[in-house]
Amino acid sequence: METVSENRCFGGVQGVYKHASSVCKCDMTFAVFLPAEAAHGPVPVLWYLSGLTCTHENAMTKAGAQAWAAEHGIALVFPDTSPRGADVADDDAFDLGQGAGFYVNATQGPWAPHFQMWDYVTAELPDLLASQFALDMGSQSITGHSMGGHGALTIAMSLPGRFRSVSAFAPICHPTASDWGRKQFTAYLGSDHALWQGHDATLLMQKGGFDGPALIDTGTDDQFGDLLGTEHLANAMAGRRQEGTLRLQKGYDHSYFFISTFMEDHITFHAEALYQ
């Protein structure tokens, strides 16, 4: 693992790191914020999965998360959204290819050799973090934005017992019924719709839900509202009697201004679960 940078931040350290990924078969970059408490022992972990076109850097610099994480003594992990490099397949569209991994393991060419983001986020990167940082991997929660909200919800519901809590900012809620999902799932997973169902938060909520509390925020002026399918997830949560809260925030859009406004709420929500 190579240290790209480390900066003092709210009494802790904001670092950026690079390593050779065996599952994605390329170099991957990620960021970790360690609060001051990490100097004395392992601390709880909050994962933040980013959305389309983002890298590890967007949330690290725009979300304002470190101040609230430092207050609660929580580490933040910011993975990249896809494999990258000259040998990695890409597409001219912003919502497919590099920057748009959708947190799935691709089975179709030309994506399959590198686009293994599910295994990267759920297995390889956690193992690396556990070996390199003072993190309590028995006390984890997960959040994300847009495509990353989709990833956070689907990963949390698919791995019972892994995460204490889950939240999302404007997540893609029902990708099998949306242009943000059908296009990417066809490209990455092929035409077998049965393979898509494990990556749809609404279907997973209907099937089994999440074994902990959930918090979801979406803006009423989100410019991508028709693609998100928020109402489908809301109905599934109600039908499932899922422990959680889904809020429609008046006047907010899809931007990091929206995310930073409600980041304190989300980190406080996760802190309550992580320190139970």
pLDDT digits (tens, 9 = 90+) for 144-177: 999 999 999 999 999 999 999 999 999 999 999 9
**Strands of the chain, DSSP E:** 2-9, 12-21, 26-34, 43-49, 75-78, 135-144, 163-169, 214-219, 244-249
pLDDT digits (tens, 9 = 90+) for 1-50: 999 999 999 999 999 999 999 999 999 999 999 999 999 999 999 999 99
**Mean of the pLDDT values across residues 226-247?**
97
Separation between Cα atoms, residue 86 and residue 26, nearest integer Å: 10
Separation between Cα atoms, residue 68 and residue 138, nearest integer Å: 21
CB neighbour list of residue 213: distance below 8 Å, 6 or more residues apart: 165, 166, 243, 244, 269, 273
pLDDT digits (tens, 9 = 90+) for 107-122: 999 999 999 999 999 9
Q: Is 50 a catalytic residue?
A: no
Beta strands 26-34; 12-21: pairing state = antiparallel
Burial 11-26 (b: 16+ CB within 10 A, else e): ebbbbbbeeebebbbb
CB neighbour list of residue 242: distance below 8 Å, 6 or more residues apart: 205, 209, 210, 214, 236
pLDDT digits (tens, 9 = 90+) for 174-232: 999 999 999 999 999 999 999 999 999 999 999 999 999 999 999 999 999 999 999 99
Q: Is 222 a catalytic residue?
A: yes
Count H helices, E strands: the chain?
Answer: 11, 9
For the chain, what is the radius of gyration of the CA atoms? Answer: 17
Bridge partner list, 167: 215
3-state SS, residue 254: coil
pLDDT at 93 over 90: yes
User: For the whole prediction, is pTM greater than 0.95?
Assistant: yes
Catalytic residue of the set 56, 72, 174, 254: 254
pLDDT score of 162: 98
Catalytic residue of the set 139, 222, 232, 266: 222
State the alpha helices, DSSP H only, in 5-139: 57-62, 65-72, 117-119, 125-132
pLDDT score of 276: 83
pLDDT score of 176: 98
Q: Is 191 a catalytic residue?
A: no
Catalytic residue of the set 21, 139, 146, 178: 146
**Mean of the pLDDT values across residues 240-267?**
98
Separation between Cα atoms, residue 67 and residue 24, nearest integer Å: 32
The identity of residue 75, as a single letter, is A
Contact (Cβ atoms closer than 8 angstroms) between residue 77 and residue 28: no
